[in-house]
C-alpha cells in the first residue's frame, strides 16, 4: 500500500465513524475544536491526521470509541499508519524494536541471517 492509500483508508474510517455517530463534519469539528477544511482533507485522504496522541484520543472518544477496546486501538493504529509512523506501543518494546531490521528485510524479500532468525524465534517463544 502506498502512503496515499493509507491516508484514504484512515480517511474512510474517520468519515464512516463520524456518520455512524450521526455527526456532521462541522459539528464534529466544533466538538473537537478542529478546522473543518483540514478535517475534510483528512477524510478525503488528502492530508495526514495529526500525530498528537491527545488529539487522536479526543477524536476517538468523540466518535464513541472507548479507550482500551479493539476499535479504539484500531483507530489509533490506522492513524499511525497513515502518518507513516510505527505505533508507540511497538517502539516501547526494546526486544521487538531490535528485531525490526530483520523483519523489514524479510518483507523486502531479503533472506534474514541465521542469527536474525534465531533472535526472532527466541523472541516469539518468550513472548
> Alpha carbon of 56 to those of 31, 63, 78, 83: distances in Å?
13, 11, 11, 12
55 & 112 share domain: no
107 & 56 share domain: no
- Report pTM: 0.73
Owner of C-alpha cell 477524510: 43
75 & 107 share domain: no
Largest Cα separation within the chain, whole Å, is 55
Q: What is the pLDDT of residue 120?
A: 73
80 & 100 share domain: no
119 & 103 share domain: yes
107 & 65 share domain: no
Q: What is the pLDDT of residue 32?
A: 98
Q: What is the pLDDT of residue 1?
A: 58
CATH number for position 28: 1.10.260.40
Q: Which domain holds residue 110?
A: 93-126
69 & 15 share domain: yes
77 & 18 share domain: yes
Number of domains in the chain: 2
Q: What are phi and psi of 87, to 5 degrees?
A: -55, 145
> Alpha carbon of 108 to those of 24, 31, 91: distances in Å?
42, 43, 21
Would you say 17 and 65 are in contact if contact means Cβ atoms under 8 Å apart?
yes
The pLDDT tens digits along the chain (127 residues) read: 566 789 999 999 999 999 999 999 999 999 999 999 999 999 999 999 999 999 999 999 999 999 999 999 999 999 998 998 877 777 888 887 787 787 777 777 767 677 777 777 776 776 5
64 & 105 share domain: no
21 & 58 share domain: yes
62 & 79 share domain: yes
Q: What is the pLDDT of residue 60?
A: 98
73 & 98 share domain: no
Would you say 116 and 99 are in contact if contact means Cβ atoms under 8 Å apart?
yes
Would you say 120 and 97 are in contact if contact means Cβ atoms under 8 Å apart?
no
Would you say 14 and 82 are in contact if contact means Cβ atoms under 8 Å apart?
no
Amino acid at each position: 500500500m502506498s502512503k496515499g492509500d493509507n491516508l484514504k483508508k484512515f480517511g474512510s474510517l474517520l468519515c464512516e465513524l463520524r456518520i455512524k455517530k450521526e455527526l456532521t463534519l462541522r459539528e464534529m469539528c466544533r466538538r473537537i475544536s478542529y478546522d473543518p477544511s483540514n478535517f475534510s482533507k483528512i477524510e478525503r485522504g488528502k492530508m495526514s491526521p495529526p500525530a498528537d496522541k491527545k488529539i487522536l484520543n479526543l477524536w476517538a472518544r468523540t466518535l464513541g470509541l472507548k479507550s482500551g477496546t479493539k476499535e479504539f486501538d484500531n483507530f489509533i493504529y490506522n492513524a499511525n499508519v497513515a502518518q507513516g509512523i510505527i505505533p508507540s506501543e511497538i517502539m516501547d518494546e526494546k526486544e521487538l524494536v531490535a528485531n525490526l531490521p530483520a523483519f523489514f528485510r524479510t518483507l523486502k524479500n531479503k533472506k534474514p541471517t541465521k542469527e536474525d532468525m534465531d533472535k526472532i524465534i527466541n523472541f516469539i517463544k518468550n513472548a
